[in-house]
A and B are shown apart, each in its own frame.
Chain A
Amino acid sequence: MLSRTGVFTVLKRSTRLSGYALRPLSTRSCLRVEDQGTSRSRVTPRGGAPSGASSSTDPSDQSAFSGNTPPKSTTFEDADPKRKPLSRIAIGGTETKSQKATSGSIEFATWKAAALVLTLGGTLYYFFSKEKRRLEIEKEAEANRGYGKPLVGGPFKLVDFNGNEFTEKNLLGKFSIIYFGFSHCPDICPDELDKLSEWLDGLKKKGIELQPIFITCDPARDPPHVLKEYLSEFHPDLIGLTGEYNDIKNACKQYRVYFSTPPSLKPGQDYLVDHSIFFYLMDPEGQFIDALGRQYDAETGVAKIEEHVKAYVPREQREKRKEKWYSFLFN
C-alpha cells in the first residue's frame, strides 16, 4: 500500500510537471514507474522485501528495474531459493486443473462436427453443381428446339442404302446423329466419320445408343450400292441415305446445310462437292438439339453428347412441369 501511494504521488507530480515543455518525456518516464510499482505491490503480500518497493518510487533508480536485469533477480533468489519466477504464478491459484478435465470431450465433439460439416457440405456442393450444369445443358437444348417451328430439321424423304424409304419419322424413339458428306470426299469426311466411330464406341461403353446417319450431298455419284460400299469401311451402325437430287436438296435445306456441285459437268468427270461439316444431334422426338463442329475431338464430343442425352427430358414431362408451381426454375 505504501508503494502504491508512492506511485500515485509520483504520477501526480509528473503530470503536473508535464504541463510544461517536457511533456512527452515526462509521461513516458512516469508510465514506466507505474509498471514497476504495481508488480512490486503483488510481491508484498507473499512476504517479499518491502524495502525494494520504496526504492521503486524513485525514478532515478530505474537502472535496477529495467526488465529482468541480473542484479535484481539474484537478490530474489537469494531471499527464497524455492520460489518460482514471478510471472509463472497464477494470481487466482489452481484454476488450470479444472480446465483440463473438460477439454477431452470438447475436442471429440469438434472433430465429429467438422467431419459432418465436411461430408455434408461436400455432397451438397457436388449435387448442386452437377444439377446446375444439367439445367444449363437442358436450357441450351430447349433454346435450340426453338419456339414454334424448329430451326433445324424437318420432314424429308430419302432412301437408305438398302433401298428402303427413310423419312423424319425414322428419327423418332432414339437419339440420332446426322452427318452430310459424299463418298469422293478427299479428307475431311473420312476423318470426321472415323471420329464419329470413336464417339459411337465411347458412348456405347456408357450405355448410350445413337442412330448414326450419313446423308450424301452428291446423289449423282452416290447411289445406294456405292454408299453401302463406302460406309462398310466405317462404323457398322451407320445408315447411308441418298435420293433424287431434289429430295437431297430439300433435306439439306431442312438442316440448313449448304452444298454445291460444280456446274457443267461432263459425264465421268471427277469433282468435289462443297458442303457444311456439322454433326446434327437429334432427340427422340426428331427435334434438333445441337450442332457439333470440328472443334470436338474424340473425347470432348463424347462428353458433350453424353451431357445432352442425360439432360434430355421427354416432351410430356416438360409440358407437365410447366404447370407446377416451381416451373419458374426451368425458364
Chain B
Amino acid sequence: MGWFTKAKPIDDQSRPPSRSSRKQCWESRDIFFQCLDKISVVNALDPKNQDAIQKNCKAQENKYEQDCATSWIKYFKEKRVVDHKREKFMQEMESKNAQQIDLSGVVRR
C-alpha cells in the first residue's frame, strides 16, 4: 500500500488543499462512514471497534486515510460521534414533543 511511507499530496503544508482534493476526501469519507453504518459503528476511534472495522471496512478506511489530510482523519471521525449524538438528542426531543426554536430572527435590544 505504502500510504505510511509516501507523503500524501494533500498533506503538503506549503500549499492549500484544492477544491478537488477536498471533494475527493469527502467522498472517500462518506463511503467509509456508510460502511461503518452497516456494521453500526459510531465511534471509529474507540479501540473496541477496531476489530470490526479491520474485518469489514479495511479497504474503505485505507482509501479514506489516503485521500484526506492527516489532521482531518481524526477530525471527521470525532465529528461523526458528535453529529450522531446531536441527531439522537434531536430525535429524543422530538419524541417528547419539544419545540425547536429558531433564534435567527431575534431582534436584540
Contacts and interface: CB of A to CB of B under 8 A. Distances in A.
Contact of A300 (B13, B22, B25, B104): B104
Interface in B1-45: 11, 13-19, 22, 25-26
Nearest to A188: B79
A62 to B, nearest CB: 65
B108 A295 contact: no
Interface in B88-107: 102-104, 107
A131 interface: no
B4 to A, nearest CB: 14
Interface stretch (A49-57, A83-91, A97-105, A138-146): A138-146
B109 A143 contact: yes
Contacts of A77: none
Given A184-B16, A187-B26, A226-B14, A270 B109 contact: no
Interface residues of A, number: 28
Nearest to A293: B104
- What is the predominant secondary structure among interface residues of chain B facing chain A? loop
B71 A184 contact: yes
Interface string A252-273: 0000000000000000111110
A296 interface: yes
A139 B22 CA distance: 42
Interface residues of B, number: 25
Nearest to A194: B19
A148 to B, nearest CB: 17
B104 A272 contact: no
A271 B13 CA distance: 9
A243 to B, nearest CB: 17
Interface string A228-261: 0110010000000000000000000000000000
A296 B19 contact: no
A312 B15 CA distance: 40
Interface in B68-82: 68-72, 75-76, 79
A19 interface: no
7 contacts: A183-B17, A184-B69, A186-B22, A187-B79, A221-B13, A269-B13, A295-B104
7 residue pairs, one from A and one from B, having the closest CB atoms: A183-B16, A230-B16, A270-B71, A186-B72, A270-B70, A295-B104, A233-B19
